[in-house]
Each structure stands twice: as structure tokens, then as C-alpha cells.
Chains A and B, each alone.
Chain A
Amino acid sequence: QKEVEQDPGPLSVPEGAIVSLNCTYSNSAFQYFMWYRQYSRKGPELLMYTYSSGNKEDGRFTAQVDKSSKYISLFIRDSQPSDSATYLCAMSAGSNYQLIWGAGTKLIIKP
């Protein structure tokens, strides 16, 4: 079993829809949680960074961490075609030098 599970998709939704992307993990020691967005032929771009449990909002993006269920989510409101990309979750226990990555979910927003 992988430490971090993420559905690779693709996930295809119409423009304007609310998107929910998720990762589950098995290591209860994880405390730092990140979401990265990666466009084709580009490097990953940090979207959200959270510590421990709770919610964090930044514009149209909300990151949610539920440590009791070992489950993290990224919500995208009012999705746009420019949000089409691969979304990678990453997490770590004591420091961020070695991140444990999900496989990434490919998201397609249809105009």
C-alpha cells in the first residue's frame, strides 16, 4: 500500500463547477500538507500549504485537512479552463526536506 493515495483521473467537469480533489494517507505522523498545480511541461507550483488539521482558503481555493480520517481535500470554486492541470498532493512528518507525494490528479475543465 502506498503511503499517499490519489486518484489519477482524469477528472472532467464543466466550467463554473466546484471541483473536489482528494488524497488519503496512512502515516499518522504527517503534519504538513501541500497542494501543487502542474501544467504540462512546467514545474509544480505551490498552491496551498497547511499545518495540522483545519481549513485554509485562498481566493477560489480551499484546502481541508482531516487528520482523524487521514484525508485531505482541495476545493476549487467557479472552476475555469485555466485550472486544467495536474494537481499533486504532498505531505511530510517533521520537516519538508523529504515530501511524500500523491501520483497527481489530472483535471480538465470544459468550456
Chain B
Amino acid sequence: DAMVIQNPRYQVTQFGKPVTLSCSQTLNHNVMYWYQQKSSQAPKLLFHYYDKDFNNEADTPDNFQSRRPNTSFCFLDIRSPGLGDAAMYLCATSRGDQPQHFGDGTRLSIL
């Protein structure tokens, strides 16, 4: 089945230690998104790639970076995680402006 795959499902890191989350897709969608979702809240868009064009949301902290080396893969880098960055991180994809399809997320814990 075509899908959006996020690895790892659970990630534990130390305060201030860089961490990278990964997302891959077999849907061949040209748009990829990263969201942060905290408990009992709606997903919050961090940034998205339209093909190779990177679009950063205005309120996304500088601590968060992203890379998209090819159509299928996208990475979220958190340079110096703080306790407030503990959350579920969701990757989504879409074909153009069609509805977004989500992976099952990576739950990030900060020690």
C-alpha cells in the first residue's frame, strides 16, 4: 500500500541534543509537510515543501529546520531541543493542493 512512513515512532533525546526525524512516502506526492501536535491540540504546521521550494511558517522557531533531499524523503532537524519541544511530530503529503495524507507520527520525549 502507498503510504507515509515516519521513523522512528518514538524518539527520546536529551535537552539540547540535536535530533533528526525522518519521513518517507510512496505516494509520489509533490508536497510534504511537517506538523507539531501536542496533547489534545490540533496539528500545528511548521513548514512545507512544494517540490523543492521550502515554505516556513512565520511562527516556527529557528530551532527547527528541514531538508528534502528528494521527492520521497523529508527530514525534520531540531537543533537544540527544549522541554517545550516534546510533542508528536507528524509528516503529511499531498498532490498539489489536494487533501493531505498523514503518517503515524514520531512521539518525541526530552529528558
Residues on A facing B (Cβ under 8 Å):
8, 34, 36, 41-46, 49, 88, 95-99, 101-104
Contact = CB atoms under 8 A, between A and B. Distances in A.
Most buried by B among A44, A49, A104: A44
A102 B43 CA distance: 9
Contacts, number: 51
B102 interface: yes
B109 to A, nearest CB: 13
Interface in B42-65: 42-43, 45, 48, 50, 55, 57
A101 B102 CA distance: 14
Interface of B: 4, 6, 31, 40-43, 45, 48, 50, 55, 57, 90, 92, 94, 97-105, 107
A8 B40 CA distance: 8
B99 A46 contact: yes
Given A97-B31, A97-B50, A42 B99 contact: no
Given A41-B107, A96-B100, 10 more contacts: A8-B40, A43-B4, A44-B90, A44-B102, A96-B94, A96-B99, A98-B45, A101-B42, A104-B40, A104-B41
